[in-house]
A = this chain, B = another copy of it.
């Protein structure tokens, strides 16, 4: 491995001079600067970021922790985060918690030992509290994405889950649906709680009495257990429409319905939170509340970098991004 000492020797200067040339710091005569540069190229010198970080106490690394890299919402978010990071000279250390607190904890430990400059943290849920606290204890700046964690005061970028849910359910009500089921994420997650509230609000505004036998509390990726859906369909007064609290649940619901020989929207109307990325465009089908995922990542990263670089005031910031109702063809008026 080529070091600054190799360069220094061959260029007939001290290592310090080489360091200064690399960092464009201090005053160096144009002549030696050129000579040093030339030697660096000849020897294909590449600065060792490790050594540099060890002394500067700065890695230019930011950890992006998300819960599901398979979900288009998070990949689009990751894209926004990466673009913003690259622009500011940071690289992304990637981690995928799988909605699993233990895995999340493992990654937090790794993050801590890696000495990243900050963390963009999409938490698995309320229990992420301890993991976030761990970061705080070690003074690692972070920004929370998508899900608010009770008891954690930090910069946060959120979607308006309540309103998005309301819009979706109101759309169903406007089509005449009265028996509307909610297939929800875990109550351990703020967005799931808010979508539940929005759902109830819309019902009440529509003069419909909420019926908790129509509400399933699963997890955002847990549509394996189809018996839950089975029970819904076996009710005396079964739903005519289903609101899935995110895109993955909608996939599960629709597949299950299909296995039972039921078609969307003919036999059941379905809407959901979050769109499907590029795939959503090819066969406009599901009516969704689409969130600006790219902005989640981009804005979150900007907030984080401001924190890291000390450009932010002490007060934490809370950004709430609206969702957009995109009406397609997965619902049908009740005749």
Contacts and interface: CB of A to CB of B under 8 A. Distances in A.
For chain A, give the interface size range.
35 or more
A271 B42 CA distance: 51
If over half of A's interface residues share one DSSP class (helix, strand or loop), that class is named, otherwise mixed; here it is: helix
Interface string A60-97: 01001000011110011011001000100001111110
Contacts of A110: 91
A50 B53 contact: yes
A48 B278 contact: no
Contacts of A283: 254, 283, 285-286
Nearest to A114: B49
Interface stretch (A162-170, A181-189, A244-252): A244-252
Contacts of A280: 279
28 contacts: A44-B138, A47-B113, A49-B113, A49-B114, A50-B54, A50-B59, A50-B114, A50-B115, A69-B82, A70-B76, A72-B277, A72-B279, A75-B75, A79-B96, A91-B95, A91-B110, A92-B94, A92-B95, A93-B93, A248-B278, A251-B278, A251-B282, A254-B283, A255-B281, A276-B279, A277-B279, A279-B280, A282-B285
